[in-house]
Structure 1
Amino acid sequence: MGMSHAAAIGEGAAEGNRRPLILHLSSDYLDPIRPPPITDAVVRLVDRMTDHPQIVVSLQRVIDPRRIAWRDFGDFEGRRLIVYRYFAPPFGIGMAACQFVVARRIGRFLAAEGLRPDIVHSHRFTFEGIAGWLLARRFRAALFCSMRGEVERKVFRSKPTYRPLFRRIARDAARIFHVSAWYRRDFERHTGVDRQKTDFLPNIVFNPTPSIAPVAPRPVIVSPMSLRAIDKKGLPELIAAFAGAGDRLAGVSLEVIGEGPGEAVARIRSLIAAHGLEGRVLLRDFMPHAALLDHLRGALAMALPSHQETFGMVYPEALFAGTPILHTLGSGIDGYLDGLDVGVGVRPGNVSDIAAGLVRLVEDNAAYRARIAAAAGILYDRLAPERTIARYRAAVAEAVSRNGVASDR
């Protein structure tokens, strides 16, 4: 555990070179009391910025006002961590009013603690993006927003009356980070954001390498996922496509890797039996992350035809393991692979597309693996944590400089 945030801020101020204080707002933060499953994508970013004082407010929406809670963990793993359960009705009803309450509560906490953030980073543009905008205005901080395609697309479609507010937030933001590269054009169309202040912010994975050596694969296609979300991950269509490919996938098996409730496991087994694929589609239990990365390396392909996937960390993990991927267009990693032929993009839910894609990945596997090896440097530049964090640090420094909040706070 590092020095307290108050000490860190005070030490920098005494030196006349105070490090910028970053306030993170996230509804997808893996905090100590968050029920599973939840991604650790935001944690991985925060972990790499601990040389800056940081405050994380992990937001959890509750629909029962009696469950509202505010829990301050103090200095926790190099950051000040707050878990805030706030009330909001489902379906985004009263979104702006609820986020106003969130901003007011967080603002009171910051004022009481004598904390003035230099950067407010909302890790979604909609929902807590509203609270982030209000807090940035209150404290004259630079506003960063992450754009996550799945939730942003739903809100832009279902809440057209909010678009003027979102256009103003986009105008006022110092930086917009596209986690979902596939939604960039639609986001720009809805908000009119200046592309010059946008950048990509891929989720951080642990196995990037600037050099990828092809290996001889096993005759297996792998599909890692949470079994709690098999419809979102496109597993029913994947199994149907594997069956539909018939003899062109002879000798190849499909492994579904993950854990989930008993009813999900039973449903998967039923799908396997319905397509007559017993012995060819195998259901494997959860693997520790390091073991999964090693397992990916020796697979023919990784197939995950998800619906509305924000990013999908397993896609770059497979590519850095040298394994070609099947992914969906307009979802997941789509937009990060432009100009590279390292996998097959399919239309979501289209069984014939998926079947043809599986066949291509198997029949042209050596060529795909060679192209991944040749593109290793480009993949590294686009997706390696070192590159991502360097861009993020540069954005922090530029925003603080432009905002004129360096040493006088």
Structure 2
Amino acid sequence: MNVLHVHSDYPDGRNSLSTPAVKLLLDATSGITHTVFVIHRTPWPWQVKVIQNNARLYSIYYWGLPFGLALTLSLFLARRLLLNLIQKHSINYQLVHGHKLAIDGTLGATLAKRAKVPYFLSVRGGTDVRILRHKLLLRRRWKRVLEEAEHIFWVSAWAQIPITQLLKSSVNNDTDKSSLLPNLCEMKQLSHLHVPKEAANFVTVFRFEQYERKGIMPLLEAIAKLIANYPDIKLDIYGCGPESKMKIVQDKISALSIGKHVTIKGRIDNKELQEKLTEYSAFLLPSQNESFGMVFVEALFSGLPILYHANTGIDGYLEGIDAAVKVYNQNTDELVEKVEALILQHDLFNARINRALGTNLLDIFEKRTVVSHYQCLIDDLNLECPNVK
């Protein structure tokens, strides 16, 4: 079987901010051929083009304006570009997978309809929810894309409620038609954990160009307030990014006079990350507008309780896993309260994360679990549809 993927965030070497999650998943499957259309929006008509990276990977630059302006026209032109590409290269496919609802999924649904094949749909909350909220006239179309999918993967578990409400769809009630599909984590759950002695020894990891939506500034202000009662509090910051952005964060640290408590550690190799994380007591990142947030899973796998933001990122996956605290905004006072809870209840949260690791509560994030679920759905489709090979 050849599965045609339409994805705007696939690592084709042309977008430094793309994530490897989908590539890791596809590479881990067996007996399946994957052809990937990586779509890039450009506002400049003369930059519209198709680049064939190899026999199974194409980078497609389609015309589109920022902020979703003239989105209907943009989708029409992108669809025509993709259909011409398929015809020119005689690409045959038996299943389509669109990896976001609003753009990738809409285009994927069209390609599936033209070839008279089924399609899978992934829903990632950050971009999808934002677009759906602002484009009222396209909601009927997106509802059809959602409801006609062979299977819906909720990568953002929290997005099920807002998206089905916005589209007035009951598809969320059909458990056979939809399931959770977390981004694939390459880390393994640790079985023997080092328990730090310091209850207020915190860590965070993020790209500095995204420092605003990551909630770093209010988090630094919260740390500054907590110093009076917890003079030994520490926060180490790992990550890379433009020097100008790193300087903004460092200037904030200096302005708050918390340089003895907060340290920018800089870039860390992902192979070293898990070992380093075990040195800390908890992971803090009140990030907004996250589709998933793999770093939260990496922290949990390393035995760290986490602080995260509601209705974004990993929210919705942690039912029954009580090794986390949730904030509902990036308000400094709320952050102070929740970080202090991690300090005062350090032993309790340590016991909870160890129990989660020891009782398979985190297995949903394991690579083998994610790959097996995805592979089985495709294999089952193969059996149900004799013409799909």
Match of 1:147 in 2: 123
Following the alignment from structure 1 to structure 2, what is the Cα–Cα distance between the partners of residues 386 and 230? 32
The offset of 1:50, in angstroms, is 5.3
| Residue identity opposite 1:112 in structure 2 | K
- Which of 221, 244, 255 does residue 202 from structure 2 map onto? 221
Segment drifting more, 183-192 vs 210-219: 210-219
**SS where residue 341 of structure 2 aligns?**
helix
What SS does the corresponding residue of 1:133 show, helix, strand or coil? helix
Q: How does 1:6-155 map to 2 (within 5 A)?
A: 20-34=1-15, 36-49=16-29, 51-75=31-55, 80-155=56-131
Aligned residue for 1:127, secondary structure, equals helix
2:361 is paired with a residue whose SS is helix
Structure-1 residue corresponding to 2:379: 397
Instruction: Provide Cα deviations, 1:16-75, integer angstroms capped at 9, x if missing partner.
Output: xxxx211111111111232x2222122221221253111011111111111112111224
Unaligned runs of 5+ in 1: 1-19
Distance 1:248 1:339 in 2: 32
Q: 1:171: Cα distance to partner?
A: 1.7
Which of 244, 248, 255 is the equivalent residue of 1:263? Answer: 244
CA contact (8 A) 1:99 1:128 kept: no
Is 2:145 the counterpart of 1:165?
no
5 Å-filtered alignment, 1:175-254, equals 175-191=151-167, 192=169, 193-194=171-172, 195-196=174-175, 197-209=177-189, 211=191, 213-216=193-196, 220-254=201-235
State the Cα RMSD in Å. Answer: 1.7
Cα drift, residue 404 of structure 1: 4.7
1:138-197 CA-partner distances (Å, limit 9, x unpaired): 011211111010011111110011111011111210011111111111222233125321
TM-score normalised to the size of structure 2? 0.94
- Indicate how the Cα distance of structure 1 residues 307 and 388 shifts in structure 2: closer, same or farther if over 3 A, else same: same
| 1:380 pairs with 2:362 | yes
Q: How does 1:296-307 map to 2 (within 5 A)?
A: 296-307=277-288
Which amino acid letter does the alignment assign opposite residue 32 of structure 1? Answer: G
Residue 273 of structure 1 aligns to a residue whose secondary structure is helix
Are positions 1:275 and 2:251 aligned together? no
CA distance in 2 between partners of 1:150 and 1:172 (Å): 22
Query: Is 2:193–2:278's contact at 8 Å kept on the other side of the alignment?
Result: no
- Report the TM-score when normalising by structure 1: 0.89
The AA in structure 2 aligned to 1:289 is N
How big is each residue's C-alpha offset from its partner over 1:260-304, in whole Å with a ceiling of 9 and x where there is no partner?
222212211221122221211111110000112211111111100
Per the TM alignment, residue 350 of structure 1 is displaced from its structure 2 partner at its CA by 1.7
Instruction: Give the superposition deviation at 1:250.
Output: 2.1
Q: Which 5+ residue runs of structure 2 have no aligned equivalent?
A: none
Aligned residues: 383
Residue by residue over 1:366-392, the C-alpha shift from the partner in whole angstroms, topping out at 9 and shown as x without a partner, is 221211111124433321111111111
Deviation larger for 245-254 or 380-389:
245-254
In the alignment, the residues of structure 2 paired with residue 104 and residue 248 of structure 1 have an alpha-carbon distance, to the nearest angstrom, of 62
Deviations 1:182-240 (A, max 9, x none): 11112222331253211111011111338463533555211110000100110001001
